[in-house]
């Protein structure tokens, strides 16, 4: 016996029920034409992941049911084709004044124009970016379908990270495990998935098909890289990362012998390649799915804006990216030269708008109020806010979305200006520490993954000391520890939840650790008002980070 399958590793759009349904129908027809008898779509593929509080709207849930019926009806002429669709189902039930939700996160099997089986996800994650217990009730029974004599046990994402659901499928007679997924990306997540699914395959002795989605949804990124394992947990096939693909494979089940898996295996990738593709995909999908004609950003001649522009051009093409240089009295000549050089290398529209007249006007307007007081960060922030106003004006007039250019190190410590450089619609590198910014810039100069030009970032931008250029002879290290030290402290404090004592024990000076921890605490109000941006670590400032603004805890 054998099972020929296809994974619809596709980019689904939240709320586009008709469009998503058509993608599933087209994929099923193409898979059938190429000899597959089973099509697996990702978790919640019909509605997109994650639809969040749309799940609470009865009309949305009814629309999902209708779209599922449409798929079944459209594929009724393929009686030997089995399609597994991820979708939500059910509604709230009111008991007195309390609403009890009885919705399920389901995988429904369509064949011959009807629903033949439906499985409700048993393990509902409620950590990191996940909030599934807010919307769904867990299932409690296994589901095994038969295709050409092969019995396939269905699981949904989190189910396969626990032993119980897979064992239940095995006991119900499964010979193959099929897991449909929407597993958000972070650096290193792919290795974790293969390792965890390998354990599940070894525990059951069953080959395992892992069907994953691809695409960007607000701050989440899905990387694809669907795969298939043999019964020993060995990787036998894998789809491409960050690309839509119909991924085909075959599992042979000879009598009394271990299963044999046939599938293509995509080349191994570096963390930098994964991170770059995640950032590019997140920008492309956020801009395109929200129907912006293009983007604009302030190009300062510094490393952060240079990296953001390179990502934007790879994501959208040079014709949809506009760069604006806004020099102040403190802008160095090399910043002008490097910004012009990079814009020319990448072929984007480039404009220069001096903020000197506006800055002088603000200082004149405030001269009486500030009389006798020295200049400080107040005047620095005025410059950043002038730039924010100019960029937002251009955005309003021409419709392009502003990309902010602040990194995770700055956002963590508050080294950014509210309503200034934080103003914009999408914060591309808000989850990328400064040291990683430099790594990515060097990687991009050595690689041209989208054919938009090699070495886009002038070397001097990478090698010169970082500066906000808001006062004379300013560098970032005037206000912050060296980035190598700062980022290690931040990673331990923010991402790993280490205590101050633990961070000191790792080799950092206590006074510096306490200062950095204080900066993280007191700048929560800024982060709460920052633009959404892609999550590329396991702990981002967004869904992962939910700290109170008003907070007297000091550790």
Question: Alpha-carbon dihedral of residues 397, 401, 402, 405, nearest 10 degrees?
Answer: -170
Q: Any residues with CB less than 8 A from the CB of 86 and at least 6 apart, and which?
A: 41, 42, 43, 44, 45, 46, 105, 106, 107, 156, 180, 182
Tell which phi-psi region holds residue 179, choosing left (phi > 0), alpha (psi between -120 and 50) or beta: beta
HSE-up of residue 315 (Cα within 13 Å, Cβ side): 28
- Domain range list for the chain: 2-269, 273-475
Contact 1, 149 (CB under 8 A): yes
Radius of gyration from C-alpha coordinates of the chain: 26
Q: Inform me whether the pLDDT recorded for 318 exceeds 80.
A: yes
* CA pair distance 316, 284, nearest whole angstrom: 6
Which has the closest alpha carbon to 84: 133, 31, 136? Answer: 31
pLDDT at 100: 60
Tens of pLDDT, residue by residue over 344-389, are 999 999 999 999 999 999 999 999 999 999 999 898 899 999 999 9
- Average pLDDT on 431-438 reads 97
Reported as a pLDDT band with limits 50, 70 and 90, residue 479 is low
Q: Inform me whether the pLDDT recorded for 525 exceeds 90.
A: yes
Q: Inform me whether the pLDDT recorded for 203 exceeds 90.
A: yes
Tens of pLDDT, residue by residue over 160-199, are 999 999 999 999 999 999 999 999 999 999 999 999 999 9
Give whole-number Cα distances, 374 to 367, 371, 378, 379, 415, in Å.
11, 9, 10, 10, 21
Tens of pLDDT, residue by residue over 456-467, are 999 999 998 766
Identify the active-site residue in 64, 157, 380, 410.
157
Q: Inform me whether the pLDDT recorded for 475 exceeds 80.
A: no
Tens of pLDDT, residue by residue over 62-111, are 999 999 999 999 999 999 999 999 999 987 666 666 666 679 999 999 99
Q: Inform me whether the pLDDT recorded for 477 exceeds 80.
A: no
pLDDT at 173: 96
Any idea which of 61-75, 123-137, 300-314 has the lowest mean pLDDT?
A: 123-137
pLDDT at 95: 62
Contact 206, 238 (CB under 8 A): no
* CA pair distance 93, 99, nearest whole angstrom: 6
* CA pair distance 540, 538, nearest whole angstrom: 6
Q: Inform me whether the pLDDT recorded for 470 exceeds 90.
A: no
* CA pair distance 158, 200, nearest whole angstrom: 12
314-352 burial, b at 16+ Cβ within 10 Å, e below that, comes to bbbebebbbbbbbbbebbeeebeebbbbbbebbebebee
The tokens for 555 are: 């550790």
CATH architecture of 2-269: 4-Layer Sandwich (3.60)
pLDDT at 11: 98
The tokens for 289 are: 């799915």
- Percent of the chain exceeding pLDDT 70 equals 96
Crossing angle of helices 434-446 and 483-490, rounded to 10°:
110
pLDDT at 332: 79
pLDDT at 120: 96
397 is catalytic: no
Any idea which of 67-76, 261-270, 327-336, 535-544 has the lowest mean pLDDT?
A: 327-336
Task: Write the CATH number of the domain with boundaries 273-475.
Answer: 3.40.50.620
DSSP assignment of 307-365 equals: HHHHHHHHHH-GGGEEEEE---TT--HHHHHHHHHHHHHHT-EEEE---HHHHHHHHHH
Identify the active-site residue in 6, 23, 43, 158.
43
Three-point CA angle 177, 183, 189, nearest 5°: 100
Residue 150 dihedral angles phi and psi, to the nearest 5° = -100, 130
pLDDT at 551: 86
pLDDT at 238: 98
The tokens for 387 are: 């730039």
Identify the active-site residue in 47, 64, 74, 121.
121
Measured from the Cβ of residue 454, the count of other Cβ atoms closer than 10 Å reads: 11
Tens of pLDDT, residue by residue over 210-227, are 999 999 999 999 999 999
DSSP assignment of 176-193 equals: EEEEE------TTHHHHH
In this chain, the answer to whether the domains covering 2-269 and 273-475 adopt an identical fold is no
Q: Inform me whether the pLDDT recorded for 25 exceeds 70.
A: yes
pLDDT at 472: 60
Q: Inform me whether the pLDDT recorded for 469 exceeds 70.
A: no
Sheet holding 401-404, edge to edge: 349-352, 321-325, 295-298, 401-404, 426-427
Structure-model confidence comparison of residues 77 and 257, the more confident one: 77
23 is catalytic: no
43 is catalytic: yes
pLDDT at 92: 65
- Percent of the chain exceeding pLDDT 90 equals 86
Mean pLDDT, the chain, rounded, equals 93
């Amino acid at each position: 016996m054998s099972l020929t399958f296809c994974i619809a590793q596709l980019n689904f759009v939240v709320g586009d029920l008709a469009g998503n349904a058509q993608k599933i129908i087209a994929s099923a027809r193409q898979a059938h034409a190429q000899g597959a008898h089973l099509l697996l779509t990702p978790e919640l593929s019909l509605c997109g992941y994650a639809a969040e509080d749309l799940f609470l709207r009865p009309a949305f849930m009814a629309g999902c049911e209708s779209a599922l019926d449409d798929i079944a009806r459209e594929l009724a002429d393929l009686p030997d084709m089995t399609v597994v669709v991820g979708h939500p189902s059910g509604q709230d039930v009111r008991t007195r004044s309390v609403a009890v939700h009885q919705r399920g996160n389901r995988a429904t099997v369509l064949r011959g124009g009807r629903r033949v089986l439906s499985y409700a996800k048993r393990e509902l994650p409620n950590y990191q970016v996940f909030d599934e217990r807010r919307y769904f009730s867990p299932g409690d029974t296994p589901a095994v379908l038969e295709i050409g004599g092969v019995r396939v046990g269905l699981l949904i994402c989190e189910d396969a990270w626990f032993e119980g659901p897979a064992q239940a499928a095995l006991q119900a007679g499964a010979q193959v495990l099929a897991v449909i997924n929407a597993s958000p990306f972070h650096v290193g997540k792919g290795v974790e998935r293969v390792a965890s699914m390998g354990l599940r395959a070894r525990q059951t002795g069953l080959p395992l098909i892992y069907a994953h989605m691809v695409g960007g949804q607000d701050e989440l990124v899905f990387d694809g890289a669907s795969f298939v394992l043999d019964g020993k947990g060995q990787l036998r096939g894998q789809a491409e990362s960050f690309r839509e693909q119909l991924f085909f494979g075959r599992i042979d089940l000879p009598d009394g012998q271990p299963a044999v898996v046939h599938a293509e295996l995509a080349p191994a990738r570096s963390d930098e390649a994964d991170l770059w593709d995640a950032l590019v995909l997140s920008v492309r999908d956020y801009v395109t799915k929200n129907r912006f004609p293009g983007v604009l950003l302030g190009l300062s001649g510094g490393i952060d804006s240079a990296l953001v522009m390179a990502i934007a051009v790879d994501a959208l093409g040079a014709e949809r990216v506009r760069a604006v240089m806004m020099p102040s009295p403190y802008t160095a000549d090399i910043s002008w030269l490097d910004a012009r050089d990079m814009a020319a290398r990448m072929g984007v529209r480039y404009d220069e708008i001096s903020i000197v007249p506006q800055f002088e006007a603000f200082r004149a307007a405030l001269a009486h109020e500030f009389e006798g007081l020295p200049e400080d960060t107040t005047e620095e922030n005025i410059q950043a806010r002038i730039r924010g106003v100019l960029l937002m004006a251009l955005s309003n007039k021409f419709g392009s979305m502003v990309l902010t250019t602040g990194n995770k190190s700055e956002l963590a410590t508050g080294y950014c200006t509210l309503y200034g450089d934080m103003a914009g619609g999408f914060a591309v590198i808000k989850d990328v520490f400064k040291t990683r910014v430099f790594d990515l810039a060097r990687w991009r100069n050595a690689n041209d993954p989208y054919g938009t030009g090699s070495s886009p970032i002038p070397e001097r931008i990478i090698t010169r000391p970082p500066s906000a250029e808001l006062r004379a002879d300013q560098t970032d290290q005037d206000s912050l520890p060296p980035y190598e030290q700062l980022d290690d402290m931040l990673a331990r404090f923010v991402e790993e939840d280490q205590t101050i004592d633990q961070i000191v024990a790792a080799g950092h000076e206590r006074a510096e650790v306490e200062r950095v921890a204080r900066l993280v605490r007191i700048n929560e109000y800024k982060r709460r008002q920052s633009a959404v941006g892609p999550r590329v670590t396991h702990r981002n400032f967004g869904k992962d980070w939910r700290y109170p603004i008003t907070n007297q805890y000091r550790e």
